[in-house]
Amino acid sequence: MTLTSLYLHTQFAPTAIGYLEMILVFSLMGSLIPSAMLLILPFAALAYFFAPPTFNNDPQDLPVVVAFLLASIVGTHLIGKVRREREVALEAAAGLRRSEAELRDVEKQWREIFEHNPVMHFMVNATGMVLNVNTFGATQLGYAPSELVGHSVLKVFLEEDHPFVRERLGLCIETVGQSHTWEIQKIRKDGSVLWVRENAKAMQWAEDKLVVLIACEDITERKRTETALRRSEAHLAQAQELSRTGSFGWNVATGEVHWSKETFRIFQYEPSTKPTPQLVVDRTHPEDRAAVRETIDRAFQNEEDFEHEYRLLMPDGSVKHLHAQARAIRTASGDIEFVGAVTDITAAKQAEQQLRRSEAYLAEAQHLSHTGSWSWDVHRLEFVYRSAEVDRLFGFDPQEAVSIETIRSRIHPDDLPGVQEVPRRAIEDKGGHFEHDFRILLPDGAIRRIHSVAHAVVGSDGNVSELIGTHMDVTEQHAARERLERALAALHESEQRFRDYAETASDWLWETGPDHRITRFSEHTSAAGILATRVVGLLRWEIAGDVEAEPEKWRQHRATLDARLPFRDFIYRTITRMGSPIYVRSSGKPFFDADGNFLGYRGVSTDITASIRADQAERELRKAQAELAHMTRVTTLGELTTSIAHEINQPLAAIVTNGEACLGWLGRETPDLSAARCSVEWIIEDGIRASEVIRRIRALAKKGEIEMVPLDINDIVKEVIALLTRELVSHRVSLRTELEPTLPMILGDRVQLQQVITNLVINGIEAMQTVKDRPRELVIRSSQDDMGRVQLAVTDCGVGITEDDADRVFTPFFTTKSSGLGMGLSICRSIVEAHGGSLSIARKQEPGATFQFVLPLHKEVVS
């Protein structure tokens, strides 16, 4: 280089550049030391040959030399550095080549493991494309690995899982290095599904690429078991919920209690509550608590199954009915565990009650309405169903099956064809609705009328299979209707009767105007000629013939008319067309128009001349009878003189004696005043008694008007006895009275009835006069006969009455006695008959006779 440059006489600068290039080339090839020596040489050469001497005074070349030096040093250094690095890299490359072979062996091993590991391995990139999959994984899915690599991993997932898969991949990529686990279904190539558990993790792969590694474990079997278990659990829970049955387990030894969800629900406890037997007892209805505790205790002690029903009282106050059943099971550890079910049977209980109630209601309704329901098999000819009421109507035994013959025998023979017609027609018409009436003839002969309604039931074959219907007992309605018809008929009859009466009666109808003048007269009256036809236009007091004779009567009548008041039974005298006097009884009532204006009177009049005459005759007769009665009464009193005298003498004698005694008490040395007072009190009592006797006799002897007043027959009997006691005693007759204590009142004359009874008693006494061989007993009995009338009987045990005499005893002047008028019984009979009663002989033959009379009741007489 130096020689060349010298030869050429190159300038310094190109030479320096040449040298520099040479240095750099050398430094590229060799190490630092040769390059450094090389540096020195060109520097020296340069400095010597091509540059003015350094140490001469030409300083203008020095910076160039220095620059050259610096440039060569830097260049050398740099080249040296590159060279070193290059050497290192070459060395590394050789190492790599060496280890690559080893690596390939290992990889091969791993690859084997990877490929055949019974875990599916997938490597997917961030977009989800499969980068790699192991053979096992692909095979599991029914693919060859090549079929999967390069495709989206979504291919092996269910369509609906795709979003989930994408979301999972995203999550892995976001959280690089963290592993995530999930369970998901995959689809095989053939479309079948398998459950896998996937473990995924994202990692950096070559440069900034991320991949997701996924390991899958086939959990289909587990999943299936799990699903089955879950399903069966769900089924159980659902079944429990539906059947309202909760289950429980109770390990007695450990005290461990398990309740199903439904059990919590039944007992209304939070499922988080720790169940204990005490909770059950707490909820139990207080009334059942003892029984429940006892059942549990007994089961606990005897280690035996138990079953019981009890009620719960819920916090809201409602009541639940439970049925609990448990089995005692010996566990593997030898403990006793109760496993059981508890069922809420409230609804069943209620339904049962409701059913029972509605059944009862139906039966009651059927019973009340006398309606029985039934169902009849038209082919087998028997009841498919019959309600209790049907049995009752037919008189069947509810327990027995009823044969067609029995049914026929209970139907009235006349109605049987009609009853048999119904099923026949139903079969013929293939359907229909029937109503008919028939009669049931019960074995005891009673007849029930039945109204029957029936429907044909058509089977699937279109033929009638059954008749269903009701039988209603209409016997009573029928009877009521008959009664009504009879009543109507009777009403018609009576209407006709009254029309006949009205037409034939002697009554006549009249009408007067506002001025009381007669305006109308019924026709048949004038035809009969009772009154003159000219009465129309006259006033009543112009027709009457007694206005002057009885002014007061007419004044009152006119006052009544002026007051527009109705009048009744106003009697006046007038004369007929023939001029004979008649009595008229008239009744009338005012009538008004719609505005209330007085229009006059309308009424009825009757010719009562005949009855007035009869009344007068009867009054005469009564008077005569009363006089006769009085006469016989006085005669009777005469006959009783001795007895009556005794009745008066007794108290008088007692008065005298007491008076004497009183004097005795007073005349003592120390007068006994209390005894004297007592004596005087008795004197007064006896005095009253004597005057009472006299009063009775006077009443009997009185000749007074007949006074009809309400009376108690027993009182009259007692009064008679008071008068006749002595008579009975003196004739040695014992008296027995059988008086019915609560008799209705009768209307009668006290004295006359006393007379009747007195007469009968005296007759009885006398009839027993000759009796020596038996006690003389007289019985007075009062009672009520079947018609409610008061009856009085006097029975003696005397000689009785012969058949001949029986006919004659009541005739006047008949007597068997030596004394007496023979009027007694005749008078008695007329008195009783005047009272509306009757007197008769009830027993004639010895020993003795019974005379009895009946009297109508007070109200009958009045009405």
Partner 1 sequence: MTGRSDSPNQVVKAEKPSGRAIVFVIDDDVSIRRSLANLFQSVNLDVATFGSAQEMLQGNLPEVASCLVLDVRLPGLSGLELQTELAKLNLHIPIIFITGHGDVPMSVKAMKGGAVDFLTKPYRDQELLDAVVAATERDRKRREVETTVANLQSLFETLSPREQAVMKLVAAGLMNKQVAAELELAEITVKIYRGRVMKKMGARSLADLIRMAETLGICANHAE
Report the Cα 862 to chain-centroid distance in Å: 54
Kindly indicate which of the ranges 197-205, 226-234, 344-352, 650-658 contains the residues binding partner 1, using the contact rule CB under 8 A: 650-658
For partner 1, the binding residues in 711-730 under the rule CB under 8 A are: 729-730
| Residue number, 52 or 664, with CB nearest to partner 1 | 664
Taking CB under 8 A as the criterion, the residue among 674, 742, 818, 863 binding partner 1 is 674
Contact between 664 and partner 1 by CB under 8 A: the answer reads yes
Where on the phi/psi map is residue 537: left (φ > 0), alpha (ψ -120 to 50), or beta?
Answer: left
Residues 120, 216 contacting (CB under 8 angstroms): yes
Instruction: Write the secondary structure of 396-458 as one string of H (helix), E (strand) and C (coil).
Output: CCCCCCCCHHHHHHHECCCCHHHHHHHHHHHHHHCCCEEEEEEEEECCCCCEEEEEEEEEEEE
Taking CB under 8 A as the criterion, the residue among 655, 761, 771, 778 binding partner 1 is 655
Contact between 651 and partner 1 by CB under 8 A: the answer reads yes
Taking CB under 8 A as the criterion, the residue among 166, 646, 843, 844 binding partner 1 is 646
Q: Are strands 776-784 and 733-739 parallel, antiparallel or unpaired?
A: parallel
Taking CB under 8 A as the criterion, the residue among 69, 441, 662, 746 binding partner 1 is 662
CB atoms under 10 Å from CB of 345, counted, come to: 18
| Residue number, 202 or 690, with CB nearest to partner 1 | 690
Contact between 682 and partner 1 by CB under 8 A: the answer reads yes
| Residue number, 79 or 655, with CB nearest to partner 1 | 655
Kindly indicate which of the ranges 287-295, 432-440, 645-653, 741-749 contains the residues binding partner 1, using the contact rule CB under 8 A: 645-653
Alpha helices in 521-640 (DSSP H): 523-528, 540-543, 551-562, 609-639
For partner 1, the binding residues in 586-605 under the rule CB under 8 A are: none
Contact between 658 and partner 1 by CB under 8 A: the answer reads yes
Contact between 611 and partner 1 by CB under 8 A: the answer reads no
| Residue number, 302 or 649, with CB nearest to partner 1 | 649
CB atoms under 10 Å from CB of 750, counted, come to: 17
| DSSP annotation string for 13-41 | HHHHHHHHHHHHHHHHHS-HHHHHHHHHH
Taking CB under 8 A as the criterion, the residue among 149, 654, 706, 806 binding partner 1 is 654
* HSE of 488, CA atoms in CB hemisphere, 13 A: 6
Residues 199, 122 contacting (CB under 8 angstroms): no
Where on the phi/psi map is residue 336: left (φ > 0), alpha (ψ -120 to 50), or beta?
Answer: beta
Contact between 660 and partner 1 by CB under 8 A: the answer reads yes
We find the least distance from the C-beta atom of residue 656 to partner 1, in angstroms, to be 7
> Residue 776 class from Cβ within 10 Å (0-12 exposed, 13-18 middle, 19+ buried)?
buried
Nearest Cα neighbor of 47 from 67, 37, 62 is 62
Kindly indicate which of the ranges 6-14, 479-487, 669-677, 815-823 contains the residues binding partner 1, using the contact rule CB under 8 A: 669-677
| Residue number, 427 or 652, with CB nearest to partner 1 | 652
Contact between 694 and partner 1 by CB under 8 A: the answer reads no
Kindly indicate which of the ranges 22-30, 57-65, 672-680, 797-805 contains the residues binding partner 1, using the contact rule CB under 8 A: 672-680
Which single residue is written with the structure tokens 């206005």?
Answer: 547
| Residue number, 532 or 779, with CB nearest to partner 1 | 779
Contact between 769 and partner 1 by CB under 8 A: the answer reads no
Kindly indicate which of the ranges 108-116, 537-545, 586-594, 667-675 contains the residues binding partner 1, using the contact rule CB under 8 A: 667-675
Contact between 44 and partner 1 by CB under 8 A: the answer reads no
We find the least distance from the C-beta atom of residue 552 to partner 1, in angstroms, to be 55
CA end-to-end distance (rounded Å), the chain: 188
| Residue number, 350 or 737, with CB nearest to partner 1 | 737
We find the least distance from the C-beta atom of residue 652 to partner 1, in angstroms, to be 8
Contact between 689 and partner 1 by CB under 8 A: the answer reads yes
- Which H or E run includes 227? helix 220-243
Contact between 692 and partner 1 by CB under 8 A: the answer reads no
Task: Provide the total of helices (H) and of strands (E) in the chain, helices listed first.
Answer: 27, 27
User: Looking at the chain, how many residues does it have?
Assistant: 863
CB atoms under 10 Å from CB of 168, counted, come to: 19
Contact between 675 and partner 1 by CB under 8 A: the answer reads yes
Residues that bind partner 1 (CB under 8 A): 646, 649-651, 653-658, 660-665, 672, 674-675, 678-679, 682, 685-686, 689, 729-730, 732, 734
